[in-house]
Amino acid sequence: MLKTHMPRIAFLQSHYAMSALLVACLLLASRPAIAEGNCPPGYVPSGVGPGGVQGCAPLSGGGASSTQQGGVWEDRYGAVATDPHLGILGTSKNMGSRSLAERTALDSCKSQGGLGCKVNTWYRNGCVAMVSGDKAYAVESGEDQDSASKASMKSCQSDGNTGCHVYYTDCSSPQRVR
């Protein structure tokens, strides 16, 4: 009689183990998808540094709306201000509004000794690049660092500059609020 119960006990233990494994798999599979680097849908990690991913940049042709699957996202703004006579650069990123981004970039320029600081450009949920040449510089924005750098390089070279090189890039990515 003991022999007949052993296979049944082994079967029940195996059945419970399989059921537990199936439940665990279903729980893992039902978790909401999170984009790489905790970026919102349509964005990829950008600005990788010693501390890891610094932010998110939009995919080409993509963008973020204020409500997306997986949460609510708020726009983030950045700006670049310069004093061209003194060669001083002031920047801001990840600000909650365009006006705050511009004001912060101007304050940054002035705090470094700029006297004639002016906002060159602002950007929302995207990137900016400054390219410096032998005679002048160009500042352009784009949906990612590559497109902003290419646009700035094109502007720099079209003004007859030589020796154009990327001097500064940064991005402001939307921030998840819920």
Instruction: Give the rounded percent of residues in the chain with a pLDDT score beyond 90.
Output: 56
**Range scoring the smallest mean pLDDT among 50-64, 80-94, 159-173:** 50-64
**Range scoring the smallest mean pLDDT among 28-37, 127-136, 143-152, 153-162:** 28-37
The SS3 call for residue 111 is: helix
Closest C-alpha among 121, 120, 127 to residue 142: 127
Q: In this structure, how many other beta carbons lie within 10 angstroms of the beta carbon of residue 62?
A: 14
**Tokens in use for 26?**
């279903």
**Range scoring the smallest mean pLDDT among 23-32, 60-69, 116-125:** 23-32
pLDDT at 57: 55
Q: How far apart are CA 25 and CA 16, in angstroms?
A: 14
Which residues, including other chains, have CB under 8 Å from residue 60's CB and lie 6 or more apart?
143, 144, 147
User: Is pLDDT of 93 > 80?
Assistant: yes
pLDDT at 25: 34
User: DSSP code of 116?
Assistant: S
Q: Is the pTM of this model over 0.75?
A: no
Do 101 and 120 meet the contact criterion of CB atoms below 8 Å apart?
A: no
* Band (116; pLDDT cuts 50, 70, 90): very high
* Band (80; pLDDT cuts 50, 70, 90): very high
Mean pLDDT for 18-26 is: 38
